[in-house]
Amino acid sequence: MKITSHEDIEIGLAELLKSDKRLVAVHEAAGEVPLRLSTPDYSGLASIIISQQVSKASAKAIFDRLVRLADPLDAATILRADDDLFREAGLSRPKQRTLVEIARVVDAGELDLEKLCSKNAEEAIAEMTAIKGIGPWTAEVYLMFCAGHRDIFPAGDLALQEAVRAAMNMKARPDVKQLRIIAEDWAPWRSIASRLFWSFYRTLRSGRDALPV
């Protein structure tokens, strides 16, 4: 099963709340748990790259400019783009290099983003992280929000770490290894748990949306 609708979110939430009663209070505080799906293609992955380490408003502004300047936003268009286009869009040099490298491997047929959606998470993450500029967080978020995988928990995400710390009354924020162990309790619905804790984080930060897409 993939997460492709609000009904899927409700099914996953019901299973999570039944299996882990600690999440009932988290859900009550978090409110709505959004779906947030992007397209399983170059544009969808580009939006995730752009969202890294910037505010949601900044990411949206940069992505919207890039979509306007590179139309259509695909591998072929990016490979034809010059530095002026990326500069006008507001992209940093590291993100520009990552977008160009991804465009190169997609255009060369070395990475099929649509086919990744049908692979298991471990295999897909390994294939994506073999590309320079793509780390585990990027691969995991792509699989969640573009491929619809239902059992992904991006434990390297600082908002998720802080949300789990607060929800579980932990003294210190869990690191990646600790959070992966904690999240095992929420399999096979870890992608729903991720969305739930991102929504909970929003309540901790006065409405600040932490979802990466």
Residue 69: which domain range? Answer: 42-145
Confidence class for position 14, pLDDT limits 50, 70, 90: very high
Give the CATH number of the domain where residue 51 resides. 1.10.340.30
Give the CATH number of the domain where residue 168 resides. 1.10.1670.40
Assess contact for 40 and 113: CB atoms under 8 A.
Answer: yes
What's the mean pLDDT when you consider all of the chain?
95
Question: What's the total number of domains in the chain?
Answer: 2
Q: What is the pLDDT of residue 24?
A: 97
With residue 27 as reference, give the H or E element that holds it: helix 22-30
The reply to whether 189 falls in a domain is yes
Q: What is the pLDDT of residue 140?
A: 98
pLDDT one-digit tens code per residue, 175-203: 999 999 999 999 999 999 999 999 999 99
For tokens 């977008």, the residue is 99
CA separation for the pair 165, 158 (Å, rounded):
10
| Residue in 178, 138, 176 with CA at minimum distance from that of residue 158 | 176
User: Is the pLDDT reported for residue 139 higher than 70?
Assistant: yes
pLDDT one-digit tens code per residue, 41-50: 999 999 999 9
Confidence class for position 207, pLDDT limits 50, 70, 90: low
| Sequential DSSP letters for 122-184 | HHHHHHHHTSTT--HHHHHHHHHHTS--SS---TT-HHHHHHHHHHTT-SS---HHHHHHHHG
How much is the average pLDDT of 74-84?
97
| Residue in 43, 52, 157, 137 with CA at minimum distance from that of residue 94 | 52
Looking at the fold, whether 131 and 83 belong to one and the same domain comes out as yes
The reply to whether 74 falls in a domain is yes
Contacts of 53 (CB under 8 A, 6+ apart): none
The reply to whether 82 falls in a domain is yes
Last residue of a domain, one of 129, 145, 161: 145
The reply to whether 139 falls in a domain is yes
CA separation for the pair 192, 125 (Å, rounded):
19
Looking at the fold, whether 55 and 126 belong to one and the same domain comes out as yes
Contacts of 182 (CB under 8 A, 6+ apart): 164, 168, 174
pLDDT one-digit tens code per residue, 52-71: 988 889 999 999 999 999 99
Looking at the fold, whether 72 and 135 belong to one and the same domain comes out as yes
Confidence class for position 108, pLDDT limits 50, 70, 90: very high
Last residue of a domain, one of 145, 178, 194: 145
The reply to whether 209 falls in a domain is no
Confidence class for position 89, pLDDT limits 50, 70, 90: very high
Looking at the fold, whether 113 and 68 belong to one and the same domain comes out as yes
The reply to whether 108 falls in a domain is yes
